[in-house]
């Protein structure tokens, strides 16, 4: 199965609630490469790259986030895989 890549932008109360750390932990557990970062506008942005089912599971997690997060909307776009390895919190 070939790798896929999805970029997500998560809107709502998503900063200061361990969103990045929770996302990174799940990504590493599932073997998904990429990154996650807080943005100045209060959103969280992430890129997930890997096996389709694993990437889909991370996109689904972004729709709810950790227990203290209040996700209002998630924008998802498909991108060309870059061959990333590892997952980082930016």
Total residue count of the chain as it appears in this document: 90
Catalytic pick among 5, 6, 20, 30: 20
Q: Is 67 helix (H, G, I), strand (E, B) or coil?
A: coil
Catalytic pick among 7, 9, 25, 38: 38
Residue with tokens 């950790």: 66
38 is catalytic: yes
pLDDT at 1: 61
Domains, the chain, in order of start with CATH, read 4-81 (3.30.70.100)
From the first residue on, what is the mean pLDDT of each consecutive set of 10 residues in the chain (90 residues)?
93 96 97 98 98 97 96 97 95
CA distance 21 to 53: 21
CA distance 31 to 55: 9
pTM: 0.94
Residue 86 makes CB contacts below 8 A (sequence gap 6+) with 33
9 is catalytic: no
């Amino acid at each position: 199965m070939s790798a896929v890549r999805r970029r997500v932008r998560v809107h709502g109360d998503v900063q200061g609630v361990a969103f990045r750390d929770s996302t990174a932990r799940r990504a590493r557990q599932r073997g998904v490469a990429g990154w996650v970062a807080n943005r100045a506008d209060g959103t969280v942005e992430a890129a997930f790259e890997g096996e389709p089912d694993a990437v889909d599971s991370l996109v689904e997690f972004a729709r709810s986030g950790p227990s203290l997060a209040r996700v209002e909307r998630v924008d998802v776009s498909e991108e060309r895989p870059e061959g990333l390895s590892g997952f980082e919190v930016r």
